[in-house]
A and B are shown apart, each in its own frame.
Chain A
Amino acid sequence: MNFDPWIWIGALLSLAIFSFLYKENPVYYVAEHIYIGVINGYLVTFYWHNILVPILFKRLFSGMYLLIIPAFIGCLYFTRFIPRLSWLVRIPIALFMGYYTGLFIPVTIQADIIKQIQATLLTTQNFKMWNAGALGIVWSVILFVGVICTISYFYFSREHKGALRVTSRIGIVFIMLGFGASFGYTVMSRVTLLIGKLQFLMGDWLGIIK
């Protein structure tokens, strides 16, 4: 058995979390509240030492007075406590949201539309991607049909009747097969993590296994 106090703290907190599997209980609640408290304390440290001090205060005091502007905009969040000025909260939010949505538009067009079209097109070059010889053509065609049928499932402005009903049903087949497969694949990763965790408890802490 290991007598390092940190190993004990880690082990007991882990057991407290696992106790939730049986049912909710005071031990879990204590761990939960410690978790939320500690993580926010850690985030305070992070925001202070990694953002506010180096990016704002140090530079502000060394002469970059313009930084007072973002600091002022940031302070507008606190107008929430003053009912007459509370609408000013919208200003930092507008800046934040506006800028990131603007940046988002070209990125998503490039990564999620143009690149995906490229990978789906039926061309001899894409057939070769599979390293499967003539079968590559078959896989590419199945993929192609699957993509188009899945898109049709997300066609909202018409009732799914007739041809659209058929294609959207096929789309669902692809979606569900994919979901099942990625569920199955993820199991392996999560179970391994659990095995590693149990090895820590039984080995590093209790010392009953090697």
Chain B
Amino acid sequence: MKIFETLTRIDRRIIFLALGGLIIFSLLFPRFLKVRVFPPVAKLYEAVDKIPPDKALILDISYGPQYQAECEPMAYTVLRHAYKNRTKVLALSLYAEYLGLAKKVLDDVTAEYNRNARSRDDSLIYGRDYVFLGWQPPPIIPILGMGESIAGVYQIDYYGNQTDTLPLMKHIKNYNNVSILVALGGGTGSEKWWAQFAQRKFGLRVGAGCSAVLGADYYPYYQAGQFTGMMVGVKGAAEYEELASSRAKITAERVASERMLSLTYAHLIMIAFIVIGNISYFVTRRKK
């Protein structure tokens, strides 16, 4: 019975070691986990999938480092999906600090796509297939201003090109030429601003991706139809990856689905410790 005594008071360092060890193990031997897709993500996927050829997708990458682990996989998978369908993409960030994170996603996915391209027509060309608009302060300026003219708000793009001279921007003038905007905010609440201003004033469809901590706060927006669809936390990203892989046949690495495995291990070990604690607590208490 002494064992139960010990099990009611496991040293926290053993718990830390078990948790950290399991996560490291799962990272060394990555496997992805299949997830069931729920309506909020399915709706977002549908909306991105059905973007007509004459319309564009705007991707707002405004998460900071604290939410990078959750939101970055969303950015990757949505962008891959759009590229696969040859959807035109405009990327931007509402915050100067996070431009670097946005550029990283754009560079990575574009390079990855172009590596498999066979001809010039087949590859993604800056200005023709995608544009990185960069940043214009304060956030409300692009959110409202792009309703009238995108090139008016972003007169030069991130690289200093005159925006209205880019071939893509000749067709994509304002929100009327944008099928959906996917806002990946992570903690700043910027997804809500898109819904409150761009959606209400211009009828722009908005999809959101947020940290799991904010899921409960954002759910009402999805219920009210202000978000066309939404991804919550790494699980939302994994669901999107699931669709991207099964339906769009995208074969790229599934970061979020792999993280789901680590996450499952982590949750299970926590649950296991809680169960052990309770059983041994129960046993020792009965003895007394």
A binds B: yes
- Using a CB–CB cutoff of 8 Å, the interface residues on chain A facing chain B are 21-23, 129-131, 182, 185-189, 191-199, 202, 208-210
A residues in contact with B259, CB < 8 Å = 192, 195
Q: Is the CB of A192 within 8 A of B216?
A: no
Asked if A21 contacts B23 (CB within 8 A), the reply is: no
Contact assessment for B69 and A188 in the assembled complex, using a CB-CB cutoff below 8 Å: no
- B132-145 vs A: 1/0 string, CB under 8 Å? 00000000000000
Minimum CB–CB distance from A57 to chain B (whole Å) comes to: 22
Looking at the complex, which one of A188, A198, A210 makes contact with B263 (CB distance below 8 Å)? A188
Interface membership of B254, Cβ < 8 A? no
The 8 Å CB contact of B27, one of A22, A182, A189, A202, is: A202
> Judging by beta carbons under 8 Å apart, are A192 and B234 in contact?
yes
Residue of A nearest to B253 (CB): A210
B1 proximal to A (CB < 8 A)? no
Inter-chain contacts of B30 with A (CB < 8 A): 209-210
Q: Does B270 contact A (CB under 8 A)?
A: yes
B188 at the interface (CB under 8 A from A): no
In the complex, chain B residues whose CB is within 8 Å of the CB of A197: 69
Q: Are A185 and B215 in contact (CB under 8 A)?
A: yes
Q: Is the CB of A192 within 8 A of B70?
A: yes
List, in ascending order, chain B residues with CB within 8 A of A195's CB: 23, 27, 69, 259, 262-263, 266
Contact of A192 among B27, B223, B263 (CB under 8 A): B263
Q: Once bound together, how far apart are the Cα atoms of A188 and B271, in whole Å?
A: 13
12 A–B contacts from the bound complex (CB under 8 Å) = A21-B20, A130-B223, A131-B223, A185-B216, A186-B212, A191-B23, A191-B266, A192-B259, A194-B23, A196-B69, A196-B72, A202-B24
> What separation, in Å, do the CA atoms of A21 and B16 have in the docked complex?
7
A137 to chain B, nearest CB (A): 16
B27 touches A199 (CB 8 A): yes
The CB with the most chain B CB atoms within 10 A, among A22, A182, A185, is that of: A185
Known: A186-B213, A187-B267, A189-B233. A198 touches B223 (CB 8 A): no
Given pairs A191-B23, A195-B259, 19 additional interface contacts (CB within 8 A): A21-B16, A129-B220, A129-B223, A129-B224, A185-B216, A187-B267, A189-B213, A191-B263, A192-B70, A195-B69, A196-B70, A196-B72, A197-B69, A198-B20, A198-B23, A198-B24, A198-B27, A202-B24, A202-B27
User: What 1/0 flags go to B246-288 for Cβ under 8 Å of A?
Assistant: 0000000100000100110011001000000000000000000
* Pair A189/B266 contact, Cβ less than 8 Å: no
Q: Which residues of B contact A193 (CB under 8 A)?
A: 66, 69-70
Between A129, A198, A210, the greatest number of chain B beta carbons within 10 A of the residue's beta carbon is seen for A198
B13 within 8 A of A: yes
Give every chain B residue within 8 A of A208 (Cβ-Cβ): 28
Rounded to whole Å, the gap between the CB of B40 and the closest CB of chain A is 12
Q: For B212, what are the chain A residues with a Cβ–Cβ distance below 8 Å?
A: 185-186, 188-189, 192
- Smallest Cβ distance from B266 to chain A, in angstroms? 5
CB of B80 closer than 8 Å to a CB of A = no
Kindly report which residue of chain A lies nearest to residue B66, judged by CB atoms: A193
Contacts of B224 in A (CB 8 A): 129
